[in-house]
Amino acid sequence: MNFDDTPQEAEFRAKARAFLSQHLEKLDPNQTAPNLLGEREDKGAIAWAKRWQATKFDAGWAVLTWPKEYGGQGLGRMENVIFNQEEARFETPPPIYGIGHGMLGPTLMTHGTKEQKERYVKEMARGQVVWCQLFSEPAAGSDLAGLRASAVRDGADWILNGQKIWSTGAHFCDWGMIVVRTDPNVPKHDGLTYFIVDMRAKGVEIRPIKQINGATGFNEVFFTDVRVPDTQRVGGIGEGWKVSITTLMNERVSIGAGTTGGRIRDVFRLASEARRNGRPAIEDGAVRQQLADAFITSKGLQYTSYRILSALSRGATPGPEGSISKAVGAPFGQRLAAFALELQGAMGGLVDPALAPQEALWQQAYLGSPGLRIAGGTDEVLRNIIAERVLGLPSETRMDKGMPFRDVPTGPTKR
């Protein structure tokens, strides 16, 4: 057991740092983490993200864990984490490649045809085209396999109709990966098929969703008679669920522990600056107890991710400890933000970054935190997963088991 870099890891870290220093501005460690200050997905930021990705790719620092044949570097997850740790010390554009590089690329590598891998995966690596995921629907979230968007065969093509929702970044993406129903006469998991869809195709309409934090990172996407060639089908007809699982497994690996929305040290700094009973809040016993708990949970999540990384980097399947990162991290992020706002007293009521403490980081984190408890597996679904797959407790009673999809009851509310 060793928490320090091996000599090889230290050498890799130094090389990464040298490369990053050539191209990026170093962050002041006492400045509030900038990527968290709201969404920065305007046109300029997207162009900046694409330039930075091209720079990384051309210098051999992009998609490090991907095989070389797809434009990656064939490195291990440990090197990837080291690079990410180092990159986080610099000012960078908003992260827009998480879904493509973390989830969709690996899905195509596993299930795509030779032509699809040639055509799409290599291009994805350099990041000049951006990809989104089209899974959730207004009436299919936790029960994703209950989705209703459909595709009907028409010669060499398929005709897509229906609505997708919560598609991150769809408004600036070029391609999407979509799962739709191709057969309503079989049980729900058996009638799904997975496609690549051109987001600029005729009949695709993208509407941003305004979230409770005022940002519009997600979209509703409407498909009206959208023509998709059969060559863009990923996996067999009716095998869409199996392909989706590959995507979702990679999602859980990608989401990991980084869901707190702010750094624990920022809360300690805030407690040093805020006052309570005429003294710095950090001198208050109750505040100190809460600071301790926040630190312990935060470190517990960090070391849990290291444990997963250690297991993955020696080729093991991720152990059950992986499932707790989001189950603990997402609600913790909300509690942490609420605590930070409590420390701010009346100033916690402001949202103007020019006036609110730490540039309103915690106001934004608190407004954003409910989303993290829902996206990518709700708190409740994650607890079911831990209960069933880790502890081996009985699975939920399913009223629709074995039933043809067309007969599955639906409520009066579709949304």
Partner 1 sequence: MNLEFSDEQKFVQKTARDYLTENAPLSLCRAVLEGNKPYDPALWKGVAEMGWLGTAVPETYGGAGLSHLELVLIAQELGRALAPIPFASSVYLATEAILQAGSEAQKQKYLPRLAAGETIGTLALAEGLGDFDAESAAGTSFDGSRLTGVKVPVSDGAAANFAVVVAKEGAGHSLVLVDLEGEGVTRTALASFDPSRPLARLELRGARGERLGAAGAGAQVARDVLDRAAVMMGYEQIGGAERALELTRAFTMGRFAFGRPVASFQALKHRMADVYAQTQIALSNGYFAAWALGSGSDELAVAACSTRVAASDAFVLASEEMIQMHGGVGFTWEYDCHLFYRRARALAAALGTPNEWREKLVSRLEASGFVSGTGSRELAAD
| Residues 376, 97, 204: CA angle, nearest 5 degrees | 75
Which x/- pattern, by CB under 8 A, does the window 379-408 give for partner 1?
Answer: -x-xxx-xxx-xxxxx-xx-----------
In 3-state terms, what secondary structure has residue 28? coil
Which x/- pattern, by CB under 8 A, does the window 152-171 give for partner 1?
Answer: --------------------
Q: Which is nearer to partner 1, 18 or 88 (CB)?
A: 88
The stretches of 318-400 forming alpha helices (DSSP H) are: 324-344, 361-372, 379-385
Angle at which helices 285-313 and 77-87 cross, to 10°: 140
Q: How long a stretch of residues is the chain?
A: 415
Candidates 26, 268, 398, 406: give the one binding partner 1 (CB under 8 A): 268
Candidates 94, 300, 353, 370: give the one binding partner 1 (CB under 8 A): 300
User: C-alpha distances in angstroms, 48 versus 41, 44, 129, 170, 238?
Assistant: 10, 6, 13, 18, 40
Candidates 289, 398, 406, 407: give the one binding partner 1 (CB under 8 A): 289
Q: 158 - beta bridge partners?
A: 153, 228
| Region for residue 169 given its phi and psi (left: phi exceeds 0; alpha: psi -120 to 50; beta: otherwise) | left
Using the contact rule CB under 8 A, the part of the chain among 1-9, 16-24, 150-158, 361-369 near partner 1 is 1-9
**Which residues 313-342 are close enough to bind partner 1 by CB under 8 A?**
314, 321, 324, 327-328
DSSP-derived secondary structure for 226-252: EEEEGGGEES-TT-HHHHHHHHHHHHH
251 annotated active-site: yes
User: Shortest Cβ distance from residue 135 to partner 1 (Å)?
Assistant: 24
Choose among 159, 156, 183: nearest CA to 237.
183
User: Shortest Cβ distance from residue 389 to partner 1 (Å)?
Assistant: 10
Quick one: DSSP state of residue 190? G
* By the rule CB under 8 A, 84 interacts with partner 1: no
In 3-state terms, what secondary structure has residue 150? strand
User: Shortest Cβ distance from residue 207 to partner 1 (Å)?
Assistant: 34
* By the rule CB under 8 A, 306 interacts with partner 1: yes
* By the rule CB under 8 A, 26 interacts with partner 1: no
Contact criterion met (CB below 8 Å) for 330 and 372: yes
Candidates 20, 149, 165, 291: give the one binding partner 1 (CB under 8 A): 291
Q: Which is nearer to partner 1, 99 or 287 (CB)?
A: 287
Choose among 309, 321, 323: nearest CA to 3.
309
Size of the site for partner 1 (CB under 8 A): 58
**Active-site residue among 87, 137, 251, 359?**
251
- Residues at the interface with partner 1 (CB under 8 A): 1-6, 9, 29-30, 78, 85, 263-265, 268-269, 272, 282, 285, 288-289, 291-293, 295-304, 306-307, 309-311, 314, 321, 324, 327-328, 380, 382-384, 386-388, 390-394, 396-397
- Residues designated catalytic: 251
